[in-house]
Amino acid sequence: MTTEEHIAYWIDSAENDLKAANNLFDTENYSWCLFIGHLVMEKALKALYVKNNDNLIPPKIHNLSRLAELSKISPSIEIEKFLVIANKFNLEGRYPEYKNEFYKTCTKEFAEMNLIKIKEVYEWLKSLLI
């Protein structure tokens, strides 16, 4: 696969995940919506990693801040702060010891606010691929 094909793979996968996140929000599965939203940004960052490095295989990590650093991008302070917050969606959505507390936090309003931000960050990340 070429670099462009690798990038397309990550973005196509992120687009599918974004549809799933929207569907999960619509069906009131807020914690899973945010978990998948984390994946959307993670995959966009992995596309940027491929674009900005001489390696077609991004690291097998989930930390959004670290992926941004390795992808050689410079997010604003606001976006960097959100990446730190969004890292919790992966951890708290994945591990049982955190899930119960996360479920309580994931109200419709909380999920909606964060899903909007996920979409904004995702669009910004995609704009860096052009």
Write down the pLDDT at residue 128.
98
One digit per residue, the tens of pLDDT, for the chain of length 130 reads 899 999 999 999 999 999 999 999 999 999 999 999 999 999 999 999 999 999 999 999 999 999 999 999 999 999 999 999 999 998 755 666 666 778 888 999 999 999 999 999 999 999 999 9
- Rounded distance between C-alpha atoms, residue 117 and residue 111, angstroms: 10
Question: Domain 3-127 adopts which CATH fold?
Answer: Four Helix Bundle (Hemerythrin (Met), subunit A) (1.20.120)
Tokens standing for residue 71: 């992808």
* Measured torsion, CA atoms of residues 17, 121, 124, 1, in degrees rounded to the nearest 10: -30
Q: What residue ranges do the domains of the chain occupy?
A: 3-127
Write down the pLDDT at residue 98.
65
Write down the pLDDT at residue 97.
67
- Residue 82 near residue 121, CB atoms below 8 Å: yes
**Is the pTM above the cut of 0.85?**
yes
